[in-house]
Amino acid sequence: MWARLHGPTWVVAVLTYGGWLAATYAHRWVPLPILAAIGGFLIAWQGSLQHETIHGHPAGPKWLPRALGSPPLALWLPYELYRDSHRRHHATANLTHPEHDPESSFVRRDDWQRMPPWLRTLVAMQATALGRMLVGPFLTIARFLKHECAAVVAREPGRRRIWALHLVAVSLVLAWVLAVSGMPLWKYLLAFVYPGTGLTLLRSLAEHRADPIPARRTTVVEAGWLFRLLYLNNNFHVTHHRAPHVPWFQLPALWRGERERVLRDGSHVVYGEGYLSIVRAHAIQPIANLGMYDGGDLTAANDELWTRIAERLRARGMIGVPSSLERHRPLDAIWSGPLLFGQTCGHPFASRLSEKMKVVGVPVYEQPGCEGIQHRSFIVVRASSELRRPLDLLGRRAIINDPESNTGRNLFGDALVAAGARYPFFATVTISGSHLASLTAVADGAADAAAIDCVTYAHSLRANPRLGNVTRILLETRLSPSLPFITSRENDADALLAAAREALADPRTQASRRALGLVGIEAIDARAYGLTRQLAVHADMVFGPKGYDL
């Protein structure tokens, strides 16, 4: 009966609003740091309660959850806009993509490149735990209000009504805060709104991550009781997305029922040591990322490899070595630093990253198509297609993973130019976002041809043999240097190379090396990646001067 009546949710509501009334009224007797801790908790707690009401809890008339979640204690976010945005977040099949997910913290490459350096720094800081809590509220609120001002000025349907009602509700909240409690507005913003928004953003830092496959972008944080209560078990985010209709107090049991399966198949990242471990790992230190070949069963392999590299670096006296790999930031933010150890595509390095990054070394992969420190792409088509020669692709549908990709675009275009192709050549060229997505599109008949780097091709076929059964290699491209390991210019690349080599020689990385197909790492002159600029010129001759046609 207690659960059916959503008793736990009503208790939270009474404690949240009752605690807020008490804390605001007693503000003059509470030291500011303690008030900020209490006020921040209460605002974040009400945000969790609002999230619960958006999903229709507690049960009852339709107006009841909305009435319970509507009071704008945080002042800046109208409940109706939050509700609509969150429903679109759950409805999209492309979580975290900034063009599809309204709650994404990622940014589009074009937007990133247009940002002034100071704004890039602030945005990148949001991918750290401290930056998320200290800078995140300012950026989040400022960007939201800027967007909403534009929407109101443009007379978007319903916007003026929403904000008129919201301002009425805000005036009632401020009447209590300013007139009844006698709290100055600056104090309420500093002790309640700002820390509360920061705590909410800490939760969202670990809810979703970057992964080529959208289904793997949701995570779980196995938190302690305090954070579970604060976030109303939304830390079990995989379970919540699978069953958004389930009330918060039933999520732990559902998670226990699927935990073993999730851990076994590696379909989602599980942070087993709670939010404090996330803060420790992602506070302010330089980051490490091995995201070019990651996800699925490669996640554990990269984690083990990085653990051994980090051990060697610490043994050499290096401080601030991250204990885990960064998987939340967009690649452009990762490559902007501070980066201790990462991997990038050769063309972005040669065209724009070499001024702030330097090469640590080049990997040696033991996969079909690789030769020493070089790799190539396979131009793939459906196995059942009549396509036999490169020029048979004239007037067909091409798909590339990214306009800056050396393997997905440059080598593709270079091979076709060598066969005699010239722009305009393809009927359409679309962008998939990843090699795996391109390969899947060809396999499913959504595109006619794609260039897949040979390492990704091997991993994809091992993970999903069907892709190899329904596609075939039409042409192998020329060789070019494999994807370089890089670091920020201020770091000791020689020490990083030595540590990586020692880690690869460690018997404990044998399984990781086998899974990754990684047999070594060699030094290379960074100028070798100048080849990618020549290949890009050839690719322009097929794809056009923009690099792609939409």
Q: What is the 3-state secondary structure (H, E, C) of 266-329?
A: CCCCEECCHHHHHHHHCCCCCEECCCCCCCCCHHHHHHHHHHHHHHHHHHCCCCCCCCCCCCCC
Residue 461 has a pLDDT of 95
∠ Cα 99 102 108 (to 5°): 35
Residue 284 has a pLDDT of 64
pTM across the whole model:
0.65
Phi/psi of residue 325, nearest 5 degrees: -80, 145
Residue 128 has a pLDDT of 75
Contact indicator for 220, 226 with CB cutoff of 8 Å: no
Taking the CB of residue 318, how many other CB atoms lie within 10 A of it? 16
Each of the 550 residues of the chain gets a pLDDT tens digit; together they read 777 888 999 999 999 999 999 999 999 999 999 999 999 999 999 999 999 999 999 988 889 999 999 999 999 999 999 999 999 999 988 887 788 888 887 777 678 778 888 887 787 777 778 888 888 999 999 999 999 999 999 999 999 999 999 999 999 999 999 999 999 999 999 999 999 999 999 998 878 876 666 777 888 889 999 999 999 999 999 999 999 999 999 999 999 999 988 877 766 778 777 888 777 656 666 789 998 999 888 999 999 999 999 999 887 756 568 889 998 888 888 887 679 999 999 999 999 998 888 999 999 999 999 999 999 999 999 999 999 999 999 999 999 999 999 999 999 999 999 999 999 999 999 999 899 999 999 999 999 999 999 999 999 999 999 999 999 999 999 999 999 999 987 678 888 999 999 999 999 999 999 999 999 999 999 999 999 999 999 999 999 875 444 4
Helix (H, G, I), strand (E, B) or coil at 66: helix
Distance from C-alpha of 513 to C-alpha of 499, rounded to nearest angstrom: 15
Distances (CA, A) of 279 to 321, 344, 505: 14, 26, 31
Non-local (6+) Cβ contacts of 394 within 8 A are 421, 425, 426
The H or E element spanning position 200 is helix 194-205
Phi/psi of residue 215, nearest 5 degrees: -65, -15
Residue 330 has a pLDDT of 81
Contact indicator for 281, 322 with CB cutoff of 8 Å: yes
Residue 211 has a pLDDT of 63
Distance from C-alpha of 159 to C-alpha of 163, rounded to nearest angstrom: 6
Among residues 269, 442, 268, the alpha carbon closest in space to that of 456 is found at: 442
Residue 210 has a pLDDT of 62
Distance from C-alpha of 197 to C-alpha of 3, rounded to nearest angstrom: 29
33-78 pLDDT, tens per residue? Answer: 999 999 999 999 999 999 999 999 998 888 999 999 999 999 999 9
Residue 471 has a pLDDT of 97
- Locate tokens 């009224």: which residue? 25
Distance from C-alpha of 226 to C-alpha of 263, rounded to nearest angstrom: 24
Distance from C-alpha of 417 to C-alpha of 475, rounded to nearest angstrom: 13
Residue 378: strand pairing partners = 452, 476
Helix (H, G, I), strand (E, B) or coil at 516: helix
